[in-house]
Chain A
Amino acid sequence: MDFYFGLAQLVGVHTLLGLSAYIVLLTGQVSLAQAGFFAVGAYTAGMLTVLAGWHLVPALGVSALVSAATACAVGFPALRIKGLMLVVATLAFGEGVRLFFFNFDYQIAKGEVKVGPLGGEGFRQIRFFPEHGWSTLEVMLFIWCFVLLVMALLWWIDRSRYGAALRAVGEDELAAQAVGLNLTAIKVSAMTLGGGIAGIGGGLYAHYTTHIEHSSFNILVATFALAYPIVGGLQSVFGTVVAVIFVQAFLIEGLRDLGDWRNLLFGALIVLAMNLRPRGFLDARTLASLKRVFGGGPRA
């Protein structure tokens, strides 16, 4: 059973990563910087619990704030450019963060052993969960509390005036500007929110793996962050969850028996999925028919 709890932890953390890209994608920006914010969150939370001895919850709060602040700082200059230039700029930022942590040493002696991030060797002994005797189930529930919280927040945003503004900017910037929306404020705030979500996800990730290193935050992670909401569909937050389950639980864990072939299938299935469902698994039509089945008739 622990295996499934572990899988659920993984799905939860990746959902947070995907949701952080989701809100940025709503404004029509493709950001490959999410892995960078994820890394900032992971290292911040890890250093706070291990080096400063904080409890995990306030550490997650601080890591969310630090990541959000980083995202805000990246957001302003990066928003002078758009479209594909932004893809490259954010990609470079993400890689820059990774290379920073590759060269980052900050160790202090704690008892016999030295703890803290050590460049290429990474950051070991983030042992908050084992030290406090949390079981796998408890950790999973803890992670999913945050996931559900963030999902509820985004679901609510989607139905608010702010969410409509986000989508308006994503559909057509010129039209959005013409009706009086402040493009900079909306884009930077979406980026900041996304950074905050990635920060929480990163903090949780650091604590459930207990060991992080620069290569855990490479471009592949950044593309995964983007892949979840795109493969799942941008119509609803549930699309991201569906895509994470499809990728992590089905493609990666479910096909484990296939051995080598699994990795081959992985890329091919993403290509196939995009050809068959260019707007994602949960596109507008699927959502409408789902609503009809579960919601008792169409309302619109």
Chain B
Amino acid sequence: MLDILQAVSDGVLFGATYALIGIGFTLVFGVMHKLNLSYAAASVGSAYAGLLVLEVMAGAPAWLVFLCAFAAGGALGYAVYLTCFHFIPLRSPLATLMATVGMLLLIDEVIVHATNGMPQAYPAIFDDVMLRAGAFTLRGDLLLVFGVAVLCMIALMVLLYRTRLGLATRAVSQQSVAAQLCGIRVGQVNAMTFVITGLLGGIAGALIGASVGALSPLLTTPLTVKGLIVTVIGGLGSIPGAIVAGLLVGGFENVLQHFRGVTERDLYVMLLLFAFLVFRPDGLFATKGGRD
């Protein structure tokens, strides 16, 4: 019983990173009604960019690495917007989809090229801290991951619901033509959405690196798949949905890993997704008209 509880808590804590990735997908979808498949790759890419600090300044503190990953995430997000969305007409949704796939491959290859495909060690924070309650433990680094992720989500909510930019973003996501008629610069809002999701992605990538202990380009594909699953289970375009679904998927996969082993784990996550698609195709928190 305790084993299961342990597996659930570890999984839920790590699931916070899935939630962040899911938020990135869902936010871009909500605003532009487009899928940015390069998002998870960009997140991992910006986590790698954070490591550049250690190249320049050996022995730099871990928070500096995180900060650099955060900034690189924003820059990469803007770059993705420029290359995959800005110049391609809105009438060709397939072209933007394909361009983001191209970007995914490009980021992956840049990583492989820069690191010769070797996994890179990532600085951890609080990895020596363990909270114990009898045989039940909470890993300090996972708690940090969870805490930072929650802070990011709160910051995002404040940004969306308390600032003019957030108001504009929500307006564009509801009705972009009407928003344009009100004098909102839709292009600018779209670009800002990419920067914001990029910043979140940078944090998510760094957190994943810190809690796994290493970064590898092999992370991008599973993260993309998990992020998309989280988005769909949570309901397309719904941020609370992505958060709940992220934690749910994290806990679920860790329990099944405990029982069935790591090779079969993802098979059950797919089955969970199918169960949702059949019984609740709109996801947990479907926004009105959020189904395509």
A residues with a Cβ closer than 8 A to B are 25, 30, 77-78, 80-85, 87-89, 91-93, 95-96, 99-100, 102-103, 120, 218-220, 223, 226-227, 230-231, 234, 260, 263-264, 266-271, 273-275, 278-279
Contacts and interface: CB of A to CB of B under 8 A. Distances in A.
Interface string B230-251: 0110001000000000000000
Given A81-B277, A87-B35, A274 B225 contact: no
Contacts of B271: 96
A85 B235 CA distance: 9
B164 to A, nearest CB: 29
B225 A267 contact: no
Interface of B: 29, 35, 83-84, 87-89, 92, 94-99, 101-110, 112-113, 221, 224-225, 228-229, 231-232, 236, 263-264, 266-267, 270-271, 273-274, 277-278, 281, 291-292
Nearest to B85: A275
Nearest to A87: B35
Contact of A103 (B92, B98, B106, B263): B263
A267 B263 contact: no
Nearest to B283: A85
A234 to B, nearest CB: 8
B292 A100 contact: no
A271 B137 CA distance: 47
The 5 closest A-B pairs by CB, nearest first: A267-B106, A270-B102, A83-B292, A267-B105, A278-B95
A93 B281 CA distance: 15
Given A92-B270, A271-B84, A218 B221 contact: yes
22 contacts: A80-B281, A81-B292, A84-B35, A88-B232, A89-B277, A91-B225, A93-B270, A95-B270, A99-B264, A99-B266, A219-B224, A226-B98, A264-B113, A267-B102, A267-B104, A267-B106, A271-B103, A274-B95, A274-B98, A274-B99, A279-B92, A279-B95
Residue with the highest number of chain A CB atoms closer than 10 Å, among B29, B35, B271 = B35
Main secondary structure of the interface of A (DSSP, over half): helix
Contacts, number: 133
A144 B23 CA distance: 45
B263 A30 contact: no
Contacts of B267: 96, 99-100, 103
A95 B268 CA distance: 11
A268 B106 contact: yes
A223 B228 contact: no
Contacts of A230: 94-95, 97-98
B263 A120 contact: yes
A25 B94 CA distance: 9
Nearest to B90: A278
A234 B277 CA distance: 29
Residue with the highest number of chain A CB atoms closer than 10 Å, among B102, B229, B278 = B102
Nearest to A274: B99
A278 B270 contact: no
